[in-house]
Amino acid sequence: MERTLIIIKPDAVQRGLTGEIIRRFEARGLRIIGMKFLQVSEALAKKHYEVHTDKPFFGSLVEYITSSPVVVMALEGTGAVQAARNTIGATKPNEALAGTIRGDLGLEIGRNLVHGSDSVENGQIEVANFFSDDELVSWARNTDAWIFE
């Protein structure tokens, strides 16, 4: 089973969309194995966005993600990374398909509601940045046989 990190960003939390976003991932069949409501520290934000350190928007990314609480989730499932990214939609909400989180609920790239890991490898790294092993619960749902082959 793949794992991916989801961050329900400050704009989604402030707009009261947390429940709707969680519902979409659960409806997709992805299993929540860890979840936290937290205020991201500057140090954690810089670590999370370190691939963008040399880009001109790095400072604004850090400022934004630390501006308000977020919900972080570790999700698990077959092809979890791609399934989550398809559920989220294109980075630019005005290019995201209807039916995706960003396509239905977002307007601007700087307020695109959700982060999702972009690869299996980054999913593992990002989950480890936000969760210790003892905070993750890999479990079986009664419905798993109807979701996973």
Instruction: Give the residue numbers marked as catalytic.
Output: 115
φ, ψ of residue 106 to 5 degrees: the values are -115, 165
Phi, psi angle pair for 31, to nearest 5°: -100, 125
Q: Helix, strand, or coil here: 32?
A: strand
Cα 57–chain centre separation: 20
The whole-angstrom separation of Cα 91 and Cα 113 is 10
Residue type present at position 24? R
